[in-house]
Amino acid sequence: MSMFETITIPQVGFTYSLPIGLFINNKYVASKDGKKIDTVNPSTGEKITSFYAASEEDVDDAVKAAREAYENVWSMMAAEERGLLLYKLADLIERDKYKLAALETLDSGKPYHSNAVNDLQQIIQLTRYFAGSADKYTKGETIPLNHDKYAMTFKVPYGVVGQVIPWNYPLAMASWKIQGCLAAGNTIVIKPAENTSISLLYMAQLFVEAGFPPGVLNVVPGLGATAGTALAAHPDVNKIAFTGSTQVGQKIMELAGKSNLKAVTLECGGKSPAVVFADAALDNAVEWIANGIYYNSGQNCTANSRVYIQERVYDEFISKFRVFVRKMWTFGEKLDPFDEKCTVGPVISETQYLRILSYLEHGQNEERLKMETVGDFQKDSRGYFLPPLYFLDVPQSSKLNQEEIFGPVAVFSKFKDYEEAIKLANDTMYGLAAAVFSENVRTVNQFVRDIKAGTVWVNSSNDEEISVPFGGFKMSGIGRELGQSGVDSYAQLKAAHINLSNYT
367-376, pLDDT tens digit by residue? Answer: 999 999 998 8
Task: For 71-112, write each residue's pLDDT tens digit.
Answer: 999 999 999 999 999 999 999 999 999 999 999 999 999 999
**Per-residue pLDDT for 504 more than 80?**
no
Report residue 503's pLDDT band, with 50, 70 and 90 as the boundaries.
confident
Evaluate whether 152 touches 141 at the Cβ level (below 8 Å). Answer: yes
Left, alpha or beta for 455 (phi > 0: left; psi -120 to 50: alpha)? beta
Cα torsion 72, 24, 348, 391 to 10°: value is -20
Task: For 159-209, write each residue's pLDDT tens digit.
Answer: 999 999 999 999 999 999 999 999 999 999 999 999 999 999 999 999 999
Average pLDDT over residues 1-27: 97
CA angle at 305 for the pair 118 and 46, rounded to the nearest 5°: 55
Domains and CATH numbers, the chain: 54-268+478-493 (3.40.605.10), 273-465 (3.40.309.10)
Q: What integer pLDDT is reported at residue 333 of this predicted model?
A: 81
Average pLDDT over residues 333-346: 93
Active-site residue, selected from the candidate residues 194, 267, 287, 404: 267
Task: For 133-143, write each residue's pLDDT tens digit.
Answer: 999 988 899 99
**Per-residue pLDDT for 335 more than 80?**
yes
Q: What integer pLDDT is reported at residue 298 of this predicted model?
A: 97
DSSP three-state, residue 51: strand
Comparing C-alpha atoms, which of 153, 124, 129 is closest to residue 485?
129
**Per-residue pLDDT for 388 more than 90?**
yes
Mean pLDDT score across all residues of the chain: 97
Task: For 389-436, write each residue's pLDDT tens digit.
Answer: 999 999 999 999 999 999 999 999 999 999 999 999 999 999 999 999
Task: For 290-323, write each residue's pLDDT tens digit.
Answer: 999 999 999 999 999 999 999 999 999 999 999 9
| pTM (two decimals) | 0.96
Interatomic CA distance for residues 221 and 23, integer angstroms: 9
Report residue 158's pLDDT band, with 50, 70 and 90 as the boundaries.
very high
The reply to whether 267 belongs to the active site is yes
**Per-residue pLDDT for 1 more than 80?**
no
Cα torsion 76, 80, 81, 85 to 10°: value is 130
Interatomic CA distance for residues 292 and 410, integer angstroms: 10
The letter for the amino acid at 103 is L
Percent of the chain scored above 70 by pLDDT?
Answer: 100
Interatomic CA distance for residues 26 and 340, integer angstroms: 36
Evaluate whether 487 touches 137 at the Cβ level (below 8 Å). Answer: yes
Task: Tell me the three-class secondary structure of 89-155, residue by residue.
Answer: HHHHHHHCHHHHHHHHHHHHCCCHHHHHHHHHHHHHHHHHHHHHHCCCCCCCCEEEEECCEEEEEEE
Report residue 455's pLDDT band, with 50, 70 and 90 as the boundaries.
very high
Q: What integer pLDDT is reported at residue 168 of this predicted model?
A: 97
**Per-residue pLDDT for 253 more than 90?**
yes
Q: What integer pLDDT is reported at residue 139 of this predicted model?
A: 85
Comparing C-alpha atoms, which of 137, 239, 263, 152 is closest to residue 190?
239
CA torsion sign for 124, 130, 133, 135 is negative
Interatomic CA distance for residues 122 and 119, integer angstroms: 5
Q: What integer pLDDT is reported at residue 484 of this predicted model?
A: 96
Interatomic CA distance for residues 281 and 285, integer angstroms: 6
Interatomic CA distance for residues 31 and 191, integer angstroms: 14
DSSP string, 282-330: HHHHHHHHHHHHHGGGG--TT---EEEEEGGGHHHHHHHHHHHHHHH--
The letter for the amino acid at 429 is M
